[in-house]
Every structure is written in C-alpha cells, then in structure tokens.
Amino acid sequence: MISETGQDWKIAALMIFIYVHFLFYKKGDKMVKNSEYYMKKALIEAYKAFNSNEVPVGAVIVKDGKIIAKSFNLKDSKNSVTKHAELIAIEKVSKKINNWRLSDCTMYVTLQPCPMCASAINQARLFKIVYGASANSVESSEIFNKIFSDSNTIIEKDVLSEDCSLILKKFFSNIR
C-alpha cells in the first residue's frame, strides 16, 4: 500500500508496476488472475491519468482472461466531457470485436462509474463490473444502483478501494 506522506508519485507508479508484475498471485507455476490482479492493471492506467494531470481513473476490459482494452481519463486533454476511462475502454473494445454488445466482458475501473458511464456500461451489456473506490456523492451512488437494479450485470465493489481512493485524494489535494 502507498502512504500519503510525501512520496514521489512517479516512484509510487513504478512501485505499483513492480507490485503488479512481480508479486502477482501464483498457484503452482500458473498465475491466478483475479479481481485484484486486474484492478492493479486499472490502477496503472489511473497513474497515467495522474501523471497527465487528469482525474486519476483507470479502466481495463477483460474477455476470456485477457485484457482487450486499457484506458484512463482524457477529459481535460481532449476537451471532451465523454472522455472518461470507462467510455474510452468500451469504444476500444467495440471497435476491436466489431460489436457494441460486450456481454462476455468484465470491466475493472478504479472509481465507481458516474451515471453517464454506468448507463453506457448497462447499454453495452457487460457481464460484470468491478470497481475500487466508491463515489463521493450519495446521489451518484443511488443513480448507479438504480441503473443496474434491473440489469443482469454483476457488480463487485471495493476491490483495492484504499489504493484507488488514495490516488484520487492525492490528486485533489494537489489542486486545492
């Protein structure tokens, strides 16, 4: 885990990279890829956003145990309200598989999706969504829950939530 006390964030990003690639879960000689493994991959994307002065949210989409899309927020650098990590990842996968229906895919995202992204995820019919940090707003969480109330999408929450929250706290403390 990363401490908040004055660490250089580029060094911290390198630590996460090493942690993900060398301290992953093993069972015999096979690597076990679980929700924490993929969330660490999403955290790497969030660090890319952090280092680009974007709100540090990262997302990866997995199909058949393989990452088929990675993304991070580009809202400010692209001057577009739709350049959230989740939407970029969905667009990449849809182009790659030539289909907007992603019912055999799982998305891992470092922050609970906003209502716009949650609606897109629901429309894309993702099999599962896994998120780290919960939304800061009660209203946003309520809308998220309402969007998925009649959905077949499986929701897994609070995966590496402390790490996912910490990078967001650090980002917003730097701009205040």
Distance from CA of residue 23 to its chain's centroid? Answer: 20
* Active site (annotated) includes residue 86: yes
Among candidates 139, 160, 60, which has minimal Cα distance to 102? 60
Pick the catalytic residue: 4, 45, 54, 86? Answer: 86
Q: Which two tokens stand for residue 141?
A: 């969480």
Q: CA-to-CA distance for 108 and 65, rounded, in angstroms?
A: 12
Q: Which two tokens stand for residue 112?
A: 């609970």
The single residue listed with the structure tokens 């995820």 is 121
Q: CA-to-CA distance for 132 and 90, rounded, in angstroms?
A: 18
The amino acid that residue 22 corresponds to is F
Active-site residues: which are they? 86
